[in-house]
């Protein structure tokens, strides 16, 4: 592909991303994957260039652009693309017309910028939410240690005790060390959020929103394959990714359970009141992960934030019914909005006045309300809110 053809293809992909944001259809990563499947002529260099163009354009725009072309013109304004590539060639984009408008810049829509500001995220911190993220690994201590593992590229330790950071595009999933379960791809912030739950060998743990099981595997390593972990989710497809990951990691104490939305407590009645720890890695806006999925911010609305908050409250109340007396609930969201963090912790303690907040002190981040917060700007991790509660 010529450079101009790459720009035109990126414009067409961006049109699909924008339509997906407006209608709730597929996000950018899935749209790109589908485009690559349908355009086999695009080589590895073309795919890398297209991916960079699409995500650079998404990061350069604040609110949802009018079109993929407007988004790409914004990238021209920021110096990310040469205007000369709009050359009107056969496979390239049409020449830029006099007075043709580009998309608006910034880091989010006006209402969302205001919500973040009210949550203590200023413009500088907001802009950092759109920087490219590094690639972090967690060393699987069921099989090796951070000091002992040897990888094909240079790495540096992170503040997480088993974390390593490396170049962003390293082909980790092709490495023998990954296939053999020595390392897992996991952001340092995610590692710290799970570590702070204080899971200990022999405990009974429920991962209430396990998804594909990233934190489940970390919990299993913390337990040293002792005790038991019940990994639950309402998404069959995501939960189906867990068994092969468990096998690869050498985990022997995890069972999976698919739940029906709205019937979680009924389907967990056999373990109610027995868990030492329930992890609630709750569905949220994902504002802490914009570095990896910048189009997520185009898919948000005040109504969606409110709906996420209600879901988080429900999940916390379910978790409270699952722990034994003196047991713990650990609440995590990958969000920097107080509506999905500090406010939810406060509301939980108001609904459960006999519970107490557990003090947290992590090697990164800072206190936020009754919990702890990690941010890309200050900590170089994905954004997280973390809180712990103990039952009477």
Give the gyration radius of the chain's Cα atoms: 22
pLDDT of the residue at 40: 84
Cα torsion for 263, 269, 273, 277, to the nearest 10°?
Answer: -60
pLDDT of the residue at 188: 97
pLDDT of the residue at 168: 81
pLDDT of the residue at 43: 87
pLDDT of the residue at 299: 95
Run means of pLDDT, 10 residues per run, the chain, 392 residues: 94 96 94 92 90 96 96 95 93 93 94 96 94 96 96 96 92 96 97 96 97 95 96 95 95 96 96 98 96 95 97 98 98 98 98 97 95 97 98 96
188-390: which CATH topology?
A: Rossmann fold (3.40.50)
Closest CA to 120 of 336, 359, 392: 336
| Alpha carbon distance 265, 272 (integer Å) | 8
199 membership: H or E segment, kind and range:
none
233 assigned ligand-binding residue: yes
382 assigned ligand-binding residue: no
All structural domains of the chain with their residue ranges: 3-106, 136-185, 188-390
334 annotated active-site = yes
CB of 92 within 8 A of CB of 4? yes
pLDDT of the residue at 42: 85
29 assigned ligand-binding residue: no
Scanning 66-211, the segments in alpha helix (DSSP H) are 68-77, 110-118, 123-128, 176-179, 188-195
136-185: which CATH topology?
A: Alpha-Beta Plaits (3.30.70)
Closest CA to 218 of 178, 244, 190: 190
| Alpha carbon distance 372, 381 (integer Å) | 14
């Amino acid at each position: 592909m010529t450079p101009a053809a790459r720009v035109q293809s990126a414009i067409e992909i961006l049109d699909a991303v924008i339509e997906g944001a407006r209608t709730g259809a597929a996000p950018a990563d899935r749209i790109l994957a589908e485009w690559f499947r349908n355009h086999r002529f695009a080589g590895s260099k073309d795919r890398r260039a297209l991916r960079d163009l699409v995500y650079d354009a998404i990061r350069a725009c604040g609110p949802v652009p009018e079109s993929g072309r407007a988004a790409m013109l914004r990238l021209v304004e920021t110096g990310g693309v040469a205007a000369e590539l709009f050359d009107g060639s056969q496979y390239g984009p049409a020449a830029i017309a006099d007075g043709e408008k580009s998309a608006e810049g910034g880091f989010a829509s006006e209402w969302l910028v205001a919500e973040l500001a009210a949550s203590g995220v200023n413009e500088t911190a907001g802009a950092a939410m759109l920087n490219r993220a590094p690639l972090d690994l967690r060393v699987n201590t069921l099989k090796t240690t951070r000091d002992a593992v040897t990888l094909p590229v240079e790495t540096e330790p992170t503040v997480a005790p088993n974390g390593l950071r490396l170049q962003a595009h390293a082909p980790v999933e092709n490495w023998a060390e990954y296939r053999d379960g020595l390392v897992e791809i996991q952001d340092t912030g995610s590692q710290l959020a799970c570590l702070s739950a204080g899971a200990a060998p022999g405990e009974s743990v429920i991962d209430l929103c396990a998804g594909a099981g990233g934190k489940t595997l970390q919990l299993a390593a913390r337990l040293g394959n002792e005790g038991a972990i019940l990994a639950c989710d309402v998404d069959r497809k995501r939960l189906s990714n867990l068994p092969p990951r468990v096998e690869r990691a050498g985990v022997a104490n995890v069972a999976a359970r698919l739940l029906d939305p709205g019937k979680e407590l009924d389907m967990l009645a056999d373990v109610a009141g027995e868990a030492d720890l329930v992890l609630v890695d709750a569905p949220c806006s994902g504002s802490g992960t914009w570095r990896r999925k910048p189009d997520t911010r185009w898919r948000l609305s005040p109504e969606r934030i409110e709906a996420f908050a209600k879901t988080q409250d429900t999940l916390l109340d379910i978790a409270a019914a699952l722990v034994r007396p003196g047991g713990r609930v650990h609440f995590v969201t990958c969000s920097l909005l107080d509506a999905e963090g500090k406010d939810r912790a406060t509301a939980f303690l108001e609904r459960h006045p006999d519970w107490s907040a557990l003090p947290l002190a992590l090697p990164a981040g800072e206190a936020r309300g009754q919990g702890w917060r990690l941010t890309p700007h200050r900590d170089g991790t994905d954004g997280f809110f973390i809180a712990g509660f103990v039952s009477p």
